[in-house]
Amino acid sequence: MTSLDYRTPVLVGVGQASERIDDAGYRGLSPVELATAAARDALADTGADPVSLAEAIDTVAGIRQFEISTPISHSPLGRSDNFPRSVAKRLGATPARAILEITGGQSPQHLVTELAGTIADGGAEVALAFGSEAISTARHLAKAEDKPDWTEHVEGDLEDRGFGLRGLANRQMLAHGLVEPISQYALFDNARRARLGLTRDEYAREMGRVFAPFTKVAAANPHAAAPVERDARELVTPSDRNRPIVDPYPRFLIAREQVNQGAAVLLMSVARARELGIPEERQVFLHGHSDLREQPLLDREDLSSSPAAVLAVRHALEVAGIGVDDLATFDLYSCFPIAVLTVCEGLGLPVDDPRGLTVTGGLPFFGGPGNNYSMHAIAETVVRMRDRPGTFGLVGANGGTLSKYSAGVYSTTPAPWRTSRDAELQAGLDARPTVPTVVHPDGWATIETYTVQHASGTGVVVGRLDDGSRFLASTQDEEMLARLGEGEPIGGKVYVRSFGHGNRVTTTAERMDELFPRRPPGFRDTYEHIEVRRDGHLLEVTINRPESRNSLHPPANAELDEVFDAYFADPDLWVAILTGAGDKAFSAGNDLVYSASGKPVWVPKNGFAGLTSRESLPKPVIAAVNGFALGGGCEIALACHLVVADETAQFGLPEVRVGLVAAAGGLVRLPRAVPPKVAGDVILTGRRLGAAEAESYGLVSRVAPAGQAMTVAREMAAAILDGSPTSVRTSLRMMAEADGIADTVEAARNPSPALDDLLVSQDAFEGPAAFAQKRKPVWRNR
């Protein structure tokens, strides 16, 4: 055997552990304890001495539990701060390397592939991968008086790879309730049903038909969380136990996450296996593998399929040198029907293939232990390969929203390590065309796919405007929900309108106006969070939240947006001043206390204070900064035409210090308002600029004595009011037009329609006439 042969990776041991809270021997094991139990079984499964094996482990790799899979996850009973080493410590292992893998159901197969490659390259000799969930126990004991404390600190290095959530969600998805995977997958299944031209009942029967055989496998699996055989009709028929969750899924068709399960796989080089006395009949080889990634959900051309998943399976078979017909077993990831159906469709594999599509019973019936399900699939596949030497088994592991797919082909037949063409294939997947998306859609549109979340009575729609751009919208309108709940909504016309709190969709434009009456610009008599004062042609607006340093939350932002709509629409108002109540702060930006409360957080379409994203500010707005202008407060000031600063004022963008960024224009406007190096200093370090320094860079128009910002702002407004309002507006417009032209001469020559409009205005005649007559002009503002 050559040196290369000695480094060939091989799976030598697998183990599983589980318990149900109604079991007679239920112990309430923690995730660490479940993973340890599975790992001990994996060591024993090799047929060699477990103590020697544990001492030989040089690498441990753990799969993330759900409670550490996102930034907002919670560990109700505490957790280990080094999950891989907690398990290793209990085994008596002292590995040189410990890995905590990224989030996603692809993780187990990805880790096995990676570790096998590392062994083949000589970077490791003995590696143990494992994962577990104790979600059922955690929920069962969370409120118990004598609840356990699973908190644990373990010394040692940890290669924490982070959450790996990039591309799996965006602000649009969050704003429209498209957060949970169940709703996202429902979009895919409904899109596939429409593409195939099936009715709701026909597609339900197909979903039931694909999952009914899974229940039979689960019923015979001692580790299954729901070992009950059910027929296709029962799986899709709503009942008290099988309530509708989201359209088209009742409860029986979705992954069961409330489980207590763990699984582990032990890999090593062939040479090390021989040294440790592991019998050849226990050894299973990874013949083929592939790891590919799909485009972000809203970018995909076709929401009814997953080319990346199909390609990953095909390529794994190609690397193994076999075809679909050569496989003896399958385990296709089955969190929802579409995850199985899209792979079957892509491979030409019948859903009732006599070989079966699962070796565990699938996520809805065996259980979906967080990110670790496919570790159980690998363990079951290894057992079956040993029982049927020389045959091949496929494991397909899916992560995200049909986002990340890892496939592996296993057999007892010895095979050298083979590399894949994943990088080449991924480049091709990444180069595919994408669908343009629009954040603020308005007008008639066509439904591309949809779902209805039954608990909240909310419909979520993916639609296309007439130009082909894609958008997200939601609805709680009874008429629209009725449309989504019967017949074939996909392909039908709907009406969409965008708001600061999100996009809403209705059956007609008339229905939209009925539900969301258009508000003509105008002022109220009173406001809750701001004060408004008119003085001739001058408007003064005061943010009146001094108890929170005039920080802004959605209600305050909405009032400011409404007021500035009214200001820009009112021909008798020519200048506006914006300031903050008290002498401490102009505005401290976003109200972080409100944001942390869990209440919906949104900003008007026109941006922070109704100004930072407004398409244009056609009339002058002066910021009277009387204290702190931080974060969003600084961004508001940057959006205003003129800034008067109290000599005690301070400007800053401290977002990086709280894990955010100045996304309301600060990252764009500040580098254009001050020298780039200064802007970088302020943005990246959170450094504040005093009034004098801000004035020296041109960020501030004028500095006022302490307590006199409004006085100076009013003087500035009076000077503007002495001029022609038509000329002022024309000047603002022409400056804005020239802003996008780099060449100065070209910008100066720019033929502006605004100038043509000014030349035929009454003010253009009144100004020279008043000058000639030595009198004060009487501006007509037209």
539 and 566 fall within a common domain: yes
| Range 692-704 average pLDDT | 96
CB 28 within 8 A of CB 148: yes
Instruction: Report yes or no: 192 and 219 within 8 Å, Cβ to Cβ.
Output: no
pTM of the full structure: 0.91
278 and 379: one domain? yes
Q: How far apart are CA 439 and CA 7, in angstroms?
A: 52
Give me the sign of the Cα torsion angle 599, 601, 604, 605: negative
**How far is Cα 741 from Cα 103, in angstroms, rounded to an integer?**
46
Judgement on whether residues 137 and 259 belong to the same structural domain of the protein = yes
Residues 6+ apart with CB under 8 A from 267: 9, 10, 11, 12, 112, 115, 116, 119, 126, 127, 128, 129
Question: Domain boundary residue among 430, 451, 480?
Answer: 430
* Together in a domain, 408 and 474: no
- Has residue 602 been placed in a domain? yes
**Domain assignment of residue 487, given as a range:** 443-515
Higher pLDDT, 177 or 586: 586
- Is residue 727's pLDDT more than 90? no
Residues taking part in catalysis: 635, 655
Residue 584 maps to which CATH number?
3.90.226.10
Based on the fold, state whether residues 717 and 738 are members of the same structural domain.
no
Residues sharing a CB contact under 8 Å with residue 693, sequence separation 6 or more, in sequence order: none
In a domain, 437, yes or no: no
Q: In 462-553, where does DSSP find H-type helix?
A: 478-484, 509-515
- Supply the CATH number for residue 400's domain: 3.40.47.10
Encode pLDDT of 573-624 as tens digits. 999 999 999 999 999 999 988 888 878 889 999 999 999 999 999 999 999 9
Domain boundary among 369, 396, 430: 430
Does 370 lie in the same domain as 270?
Answer: yes
CA distance 441 to 469: 9
pLDDT value at position 1? 38
Backbone angles phi, psi at 134, to 5 degrees: -130, 45
What average pLDDT does range 503-523 have in this prediction? 95
Instruction: Please indicate, yes or no, whether residues 483 and 502 belong to a single structural domain of this protein.
Output: yes
Between CA 25 and CA 556 the distance in angstroms is 57
| Structural domain count of the chain | 4
- Do 470 and 542 lie in one domain? The reply is no
pLDDT in the model for residue 355: 97
Alpha carbon separation from 220 to 23, 226, 229, 233, 360 (Å, rounded) = 16, 10, 9, 20, 9
**Distance between CA atoms of residues 88 and 78, nearest Å:** 19
Q: Tell me: the pLDDT tens digits for 434-467? A: 999 999 999 999 999 999 999 999 999 999 999 9
Average pLDDT, stretch 632-642? Answer: 96
Task: Tell me what pLDDT residue 14 has.
Answer: 98
Q: Are residues 748 and 671 in the same domain?
A: no
Instruction: Say yes or no: 693 and 747 in one domain.
Output: no
440-442-448-450 Cα dihedral, nearest 10 degrees: 70
pLDDT of residue 3: 42
CA–CA dist 452, 448 (Å, integer): 14
In a domain, 39, yes or no: yes
**pLDDT for 530-584, tens place per residue?**
999 999 999 999 999 999 999 999 999 999 999 999 999 999 999 999 999 999 9
* Cβ atoms of 101 and 64 closer than 8 Å: yes
475-504 pLDDT, tens digit per residue, is 999 999 999 999 999 999 999 999 999 999
In a domain, 217, yes or no: no
- Evaluate if residue 210 carries a pLDDT over 90: yes
Considering the chain, what is the average pLDDT of its residues?
Answer: 94
What is the rounded CA–CA span in Å between residue 690 and residue 634? 12
Residue 4 has pLDDT above 60, yes or no: no
Q: Which residue has the higher pLDDT, 624 or 142?
A: 624
- Residue 770 is predicted with a pLDDT of 81
3-state secondary structure of 336: coil
Q: Are residues 733 and 651 in the same domain?
A: no
Q: Considering 483, 515, 547, which residue would you say is the last residue of a domain?
A: 515
pLDDT at res. 782: 67
CA distances in angstroms from 480 to 222, 507, 512, 515, 553, listed in the order given:
45, 6, 10, 12, 30
Counting other chains too, the contacts that 510-513 makes at CB distance below 8 Å and 24 or more residues apart are: 511/477, 511/479, 511/480
Q: Answer whether residue 243 is part of any domain.
A: no
pLDDT in tens, 319-350: 999 999 999 999 999 999 999 999 999 999 99
CA dihedral sign of residues 48, 53, 59, 61: positive
Answer whether residue 225 is part of any domain. no
The pLDDT, as a whole number, for residue 412 is 97
DSSP 507: S
**Does the pLDDT of residue 2 top 50, yes or no?**
no
Alpha carbon distance, N-terminus to C-terminus of the chain: 93
525 lies in a domain?
no
* Residue 529: φ, ψ to 5°: -115, 0
Burial 329-341 (b: 16+ CB within 10 A, else e): bbbbbbbbbbbbb
The verdict on residue 180 lying in a domain is: no
Domain match, 284 and 380 both: yes
Task: State the pairing for strand pair 458-465/249-250.
Answer: unpaired
For residue 780, the model assigns a pLDDT of 82
